[in-house]
Amino acid sequence: MTQFLVLSIAYLLGSFPTALLVSRRLAGADIRRLGDANMGARNITHTFGFKYGLLVACIDIAKGAMAVLAARTLGLGLGWQIAAACAAILGHDFPLFAGFKGGQGLATLTGTLLALAPLETLGGFLVYGLLYAAVRSSNIAAAAGMGLQVLGMVLFKEPWPVILFAVAANLFIPVKKLIDSPRRNQIRQA
C-alpha cells in the first residue's frame, strides 16, 4: 500500500505543470503554443527570460527530488526510490493536469538524480552550466553534462540500478522529443 501511495504522489508531483502555470500567469498563454512549444524551463527562458526559466527549473528539479525523498523517508528501498523517480518523470512528461502533454523531463530527471547520486549530479550540472555559458547550446551542454554525470556514477561506484536508471532516463529525453514532434510541428506551422 505504501508503495502505491508513493508512486501516486510521485506521479502527481511530476504532473504539476510549472511552465504552463508560469506562462499563463505572465502572458495568459499556453507555453506549449509559444517558442519551441515545449513545456519546460528552456522554453520559458527563451520566451520570458532567465529568471522565469530558473524559477521553473528549480521547481521542476524539486518535484523530482521530492519524489525520491518521499520514498526514502517512508523506508522504501532503492528499487522503489527509482520507481518513484520514474513516476515523477512520467508525470512531468505526461501530466494529468495538462492533458498528458508535458515537457521532456530534464529538470525533473535532474532532481531525481540529485536525490539518488548528488555528487555526480552536481558535477554534471556544473559541466552543463559552464558549457552552456560557453556555447549557448542547451542540447550540447546537457549531453556533455549527462555523459560526465554517468561516467562519475561508474567511477564513484554508485549502485548499478541508479546508473542504469540514469542512462535510460537520459535516453528517454530524445525519445520524448520525437513523440512530441508532430504536435510541436503542427503548432509551429499554425
Query: 42-56: string of b/e by CB count within 10 Å (b at 16+)?
Result: bbbbebbeeebbebb
Q: How confident is the model at residue 108 (pLDDT cuts 50, 70, 90)?
A: very high
189 pLDDT exceeds 80?
no
pLDDT at 17 over 70: yes
118, 65 in Cβ contact below 8 A? no
Question: How far is the CA of 110 from the CAs of 8, 68, 154, 189, in angstroms?
Answer: 20, 11, 17, 32
Overall residue count recorded for the chain in this entry? 190
CA distances from 156 to 120, 125, 148, 152 (A): 8, 17, 12, 6
Judge whether residue 184 has pLDDT over 80.
no
Q: Alpha-carbon distance 33 to 95, whole Å?
A: 16
Binned at pLDDT 50, 70 and 90, residue 188 comes out as: low
> 39 and 103 in contact (C-beta within 8 Å)?
yes
190 pLDDT tier (thresholds 50, 70, 90): low
C-alpha cell at 172: 528517454
Per-residue pLDDT reduced to its tens digit, 165-176 = 999 999 998 888
Give me the pLDDT at residue 134, please.
92
Q: What is the mean pLDDT of residues 54-82?
A: 97
CA atoms of 171 and 184, how far apart (whole Å)? 20
Contact in structure between 6 and 74 (CB atoms under 8 Å):
yes
- DSSP state string for 150-171: HHHHHHTT--HHHHHHHHHHHH
pLDDT higher than threshold 70 for residue 30? yes
